[in-house]
């Protein structure tokens, strides 16, 4: 007998028929003798609808009230799910975050889980019930409802799996796993069978949207193997697990792209101590996350700084940077929103040289100009013109033969 946590996203519980189907799927597993904990999202589109309603009341909605509102979507699905199970003659119980208790900090709308009490869930499991937990929500120590940030149900599932020491954590979604790249733009994209936590973290932060990034960090910390798979088919999905030898010998595991960033260049800044600090302190004080930063050397004692910010923060960032630029006597500030970041990711980069060069060669062959480059141990990212994103992704996918296991020749 195993203890299994299964999470179903909004598209998997989008209407009564789908809820019934998913409930039957869980009941089969329960009937086979497993203890089942189910974590649900709100029906697809509901959370967005609530956000829209809230902004009709208050331009910038009060965050405490926002959490009371947003958490209601998950309350609906867990209750309906429990009813669907009972209707078929099996026993189930729905539990909200504050009943479980999923204790969080007080950061409304992006709360972090501090502790999960497994006692109540275990009690109901021991009574033979399927336990249905509302995803995405928690409660502060003094009883206020919180939510974990958009997409937070994945985090609830992984945190529950860790707290209950579950044997399996399965995330059911509307795609059948993690792909080498976005199948919508590259027909050769291949489902990955196993991927390491670190690679998944990079792919998630670079714009692959299958799993919420915080859930991957949590899975890594507590060594929870996560199985991402489709709720509409029985096929095996992708296992997100600890790194092993086969992963290391692969050259590149995936290509990700991100069209949600913008670049800002400050030209001819005096090259003296304290300039980067003057420039970036007000930007980070405004809560704007700067990603890539490049500082060039120029002849004389002037330098250029180029960096990227989320596109949603572009106007605000430009305003702040223009103010600082005037103060530090920079010559000009220019920005562009027509850019994209394309990245290759793989733990194999630790052991194989020349991977970045291959990437540059591929982009050169396609006539794509690289504006910025950044690297980490397991990734290489290039900023290019947005209109070349699809071309770059396909060319890189081909060049690294990601449609096959791209093991280097000597290791095949």
Residues lying near ligand ASP in the complex (CB under 6 A) are found at 9-10, 41-42, 47, 73, 135-136, 150-153
Kindly state the smallest distance separating residue 9's Cβ from ligand ASP, in Å: 6
Q: How many residues bind Mg ion (CB under 5 A)?
A: 2
Q: Could you tell me whether strands 372-376 and 379-385 are parallel, antiparallel, or unpaired per DSSP bridges?
A: antiparallel
What's phi and psi for 61, nearest 5 deg?
-60, 145
The CB-of-171 to Mg ion minimum distance in angstroms stands at 8
- Residue 47 touches which of ligand ASP, Mg ion, none (Cβ within 5-8 Å per kind): ligand ASP
The least distance separating ligand ASP from the CB of residue 202, rounded to whole angstroms, comes to 21
Residue with Cβ nearer ligand ASP (69 or 164): 69
Distance, C-alpha 176 to centroid of its chain? 16
DSSP 195: E
State the minimum distance, in angstroms, from the CB of residue 196 to ligand ASP: 23
- Give the torsion through C-alpha atoms of 9, 10, 12, 15, to 10 deg: 160
Choose among ligand ASP, Mg ion, none what residue 135 binds, the Cβ cut-off being 5 to 8 Å by kind.
ligand ASP
Other C-beta atoms within 10 Å of 377: how many?
9
Which range, of 7-15, 88-96, 314-322, 400-408, touches Mg ion by CB under 5 A?
Answer: 7-15
When CB distances are held under 5 to 8 angstroms depending on the partner's kind, the choice from ligand ASP, Mg ion, none that residue 73 binds is: ligand ASP
- Which CB atom, from 54 or from 302, has the smaller least distance to ligand ASP? 54
User: In this chain, which stretch among 1-9, 93-101, 230-238, 383-391 interacts with Mg ion, using CB under 5 A?
Assistant: 1-9
Regarding 254 and contact with Mg ion (CB under 5 A), the answer is no
The listed partner (Mg ion, ligand ASP, none) that binds 335, CB under 5 to 8 Å by sort, is none
Cα-flanking dihedrals φ and ψ of residue 200, to 5°? Answer: -65, -40
Question: What is the nearest approach in angstroms of ligand ASP to the Cβ of residue 102?
Answer: 13
**Cβ proximity to ligand ASP, 109 vs 385, nearer residue:** 109
* Closer to ligand ASP by Cβ: residue 10 or 237: 10
Q: Which CB, 149 or 282, lies closer to ligand ASP?
A: 149
293-297: strand order across its sheet = 293-297, 302-310, 261-270, 332-336
Q: How far is CA 351 from the centre of its chain?
A: 26
- Compute the least distance from the CB of residue 257 to ligand ASP, in Å: 22
Instruction: Find the shortest distance in angstroms from Cβ 9 to Mg ion.
Output: 5
Task: DSSP for 68-119, please give it.
Answer: HHHTHHHHHHHHHHHHHHHHTT--EEEE-HHHHTEEE-S-TTS--EEEE--H
Picked from Mg ion, ligand ASP, none, the partner binding residue 215 (CB below 5 to 8 A depending on kind) is none
The 3-state secondary structure of 262-303, one letter per residue:
EEEEEEEEECCCCHHHHHHHHHHHCCCCCCCEEEEECCCCEE
* Binder of Mg ion out of 6, 7, 9, 379 (CB under 5 A): 9
Q: 187-213 burial string, b = 16+ CB within 10 Å, else e? A: eebbbbebbbbbbbbbbbbbbbebbbb
Give whichever of 174 and 386 is closer to ligand ASP, judged by the CB atom: 174
From the list Mg ion, ligand ASP, none, which binds 389 (C-beta under 5 to 8 Å, kind-based)?
Answer: none
Contact (CB, 8 A) for 254 and 193: no
Residues 114-153 that bind Mg ion (CB under 5 A): 151
136 binds, among Mg ion, ligand ASP, none (CB under 5 to 8 A by kind): ligand ASP
Nearest approach, Cβ of residue 136 and ligand ASP (Å): 4
| H or E element in which residue 37 lies | strand 35-40
- CA 142 to CA 121: how far, in whole Å? 21
Q: In a 3-state reduction of DSSP, which class is residue 154?
A: helix
236, 228, 235, 157: which is closest to 197 by C-alpha? 228
Report strand pairing: 226-230 vs 168-173. parallel
Shortest Cβ distance from residue 50 to ligand ASP (Å)?
Answer: 9
Question: Quick check: 220 and 198 in contact, CB under 8 A?
Answer: yes
Footprint of Mg ion (CB under 5 A): 9, 151
């Amino acid at each position: 007998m195993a203890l299994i946590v299964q999470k179903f996203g909004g598209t998997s519980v989008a209407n009564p028929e789908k809820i019934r189907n998913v409930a039957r799927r869980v009941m089969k597993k329960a009937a086979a003798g497993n203890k089942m904990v189910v974590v649900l999202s709100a029906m697809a589109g509901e959370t967005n609808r609530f956000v829209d309603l809230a902004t009709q009341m208050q331009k910038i909605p009060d965050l405490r009230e926002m959490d009371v509102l947003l958490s209601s979507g998950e309350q609906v699905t867990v209750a309906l799910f429990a009813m669907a199970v009972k209707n078929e003659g099996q026993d189930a119980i729905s539990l909200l975050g504050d009943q479980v208790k999923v204790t969080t900090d007080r950061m409304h709308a992006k709360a972090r889980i501090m502790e999960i009490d497994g006692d109540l869930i275990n009690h109901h499991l021991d009574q033979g019930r399927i336990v249905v937990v509302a995803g995405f929500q928690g409660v502060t120590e003094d009883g206020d409802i919180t939510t974990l940030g958009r997409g937070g149900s994945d985090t609830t599932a992984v945190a529950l799996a860790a707290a209950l020491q579950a044997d399996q954590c399965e995330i059911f979604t509307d795609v059948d796993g993690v792909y080498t790249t976005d199948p919508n733009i590259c027909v050769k994209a291949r489902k990955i069978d196993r991927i390491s936590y670190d690679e998944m973290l990079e792919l998630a932060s670079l714009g692959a949207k299958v799993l919420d990034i915080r859930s991957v960090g949590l899975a890594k910390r507590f060594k929870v193997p996560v199985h991402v798979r489709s709720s509409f088919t029985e096929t095996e999905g992708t296992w997100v697990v600890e790194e092993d030898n086969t992963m290391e010998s692969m050259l590149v595991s995936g290509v990700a792209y991100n069209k949600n960033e913008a670049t800002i260049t400050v030209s001819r800044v005096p090259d003296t101590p304290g300039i980067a600090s003057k420039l970036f302190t007000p930007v980070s004080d405004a809560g704007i996350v700067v990603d890539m930063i490049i500082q060039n050397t120029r002849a004389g004692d002037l330098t250029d700084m180029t960096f990227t910010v989320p596109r949603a923060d572009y106007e605000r960032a430009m305003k702040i940077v223009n103010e600082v630029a005037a103060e530090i006597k920079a010559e000009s500030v220019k920005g562009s929103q027509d850019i994209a970041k394309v990245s290759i990711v793989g733990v194999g980069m630790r052991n194989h040289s020349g991977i970045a060069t291959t990437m540059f060669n591929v982009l050169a062959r396609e006539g794509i100009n690289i504006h910025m480059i950044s690297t980490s141990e397991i990734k290489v990212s290039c900023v290019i013109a947005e209109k070349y994103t699809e071309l770059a992704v396909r060319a890189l996918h081909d060049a690294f033969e990601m449609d096959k296991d791209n093991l280097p020749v000597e290791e095949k």
